[in-house]
Amino acid sequence: MNRKTLAVTSPYDGSPVGEIPCTSSDEIRAALDRADALFRNRGAWLPADERVAILRKAAELLDQRRDDVIATAIREGGKPYRDSVVEIDRAIDGLRNCAELVRSEGGHVVPMGTTPASRGRVAFTQREPIGPVLALSAFNHPVNLIVHQVGPAIAAGCPVLVKPSRDTPLSCRNVVRALHDAGLPQDWCQLLIPSSHDDIDALVRDSRIRFLSFIGSAEVGWGLHARMAPGMRCALEHGGIAPVLIDRDADLDLAAGAVAKGGFYHAGQVCVSVQQVFVHEAVGEDFLARLQAAAARLKTGDPLDRDTDVGPLIKQAEADRVAAWIDEAREQGARLVQGGRRLAPTLIEPAILLDAPPQAQVSCREVFGPVVSVQRYADLDDACRRANVGGFAFQAGVFTNSLDTATRAYAALNASAVMINDHSAFRVDWMPFAGLNRSGLGVGGIPHTYREMTIEKMMVLRG
């Protein structure tokens, strides 16, 4: 029987990057059978010291293969060189972070003897793996997202089935190979490249999967959530329309540079990219001029060119959509003050829109493209109210030199994290990372994912 393969191409110019074998429906069912058998055989669970050694060794191997891993990630995902370097360095550190968790994240003592009924007892908890994990990943951080999903599962002792984006499967294979080469038995981490969405639906409906980790669009994520088997836990990481507020006393050079980076990094294809900017009317023109200048300095082009700041969107269809949304906003009264030109089938020059109406797509839906919309405000409370519209809630930013303004905005914004004097896309891999409302469910970040992939099992010892 001829095995199907998935051809991987560059989003920049369509050139071939490589091929990877697809996984048949029978092979996917067999993979779950093996993962379930591993978990049920508690005597064969990987000891903690082996998990630590494997994760540390995998980090070393990824570091040794760093140049090849970076090149693959750029060619199949389109993120520019300098940002891909940062991503792979984060992924290497993330595997080390996962190893540290095995030693630092234990259970806790449950107080006893505080009532007559609890006298003479000692109680404590220890962490155990929750069970087989299904990790469904996205294209925009093709190495680091895999580490965020697979690394904590290995640290927790969970067998994991990982399905990367069909656009960036080779980067996922690089991470899985590093784990296997570091000594992880093959069946503890199995790479799936299904040919049909039905195969993933079957896994999501199967009660043997104990935890679903999904990174991707809200439409797909909530659809999977509705079909999950009873008792399955999950973490859903979607996106939002990340707002940034710039008050009249802000450092405008700092704000403009940060908004340009946070809005146009990876062509805006980041779930917490700056999308909506609300600037105080007293400094609106000054800020806009500085933002225009910062955006104009960005070089859009070949992601392998080390001078490139903004690379391609992942598909031509996505570039078509983003271009259509820009046109729609202009037809509805927005002013295009910078960029927005279509430079190639997947390349759009970073665009700045002024005064897009609230009903425009760029105002009420996640753009996931290199577009920043600027609005002016007179009153901080009104700006926060406008920023909270839409049902999305993830990360936000506030630029101000006033502690009062910072604390007021922090309290008023509907967000899981508010960055003061930084853009909304700031992240380190050990901090909590949580989409609220339509933006997701559960808490990401390596230590938090590790905890969600474990249970605290209690022993009560009666003397």
The structure tokens 């990401």 sit at 444
**Amino acid letter, 430:** W
Cα-Cα-Cα-Cα dihedral of 422, 428, 431, 435, to 10°? 70
CA angle (244 as vertex; 241, 249 as ends), nearest 5 = 170
Residue 44, exposed/middle/buried by CB under 10 A (0-12, 13-18, 19+)? exposed
Residues acting as catalytic residues: 237, 271
| 325: nearest Cα among 288, 365, 355, 298 | 365
Contact of 123 with 177, CB cutoff 8 Å: no
Residues in contact with 336: Cβ distance below 8 Å, sequence separation at least 6, in sequence order: 326, 330, 351, 352, 353, 354
Residues in contact with 316: Cβ distance below 8 Å, sequence separation at least 6, in sequence order: 345, 346
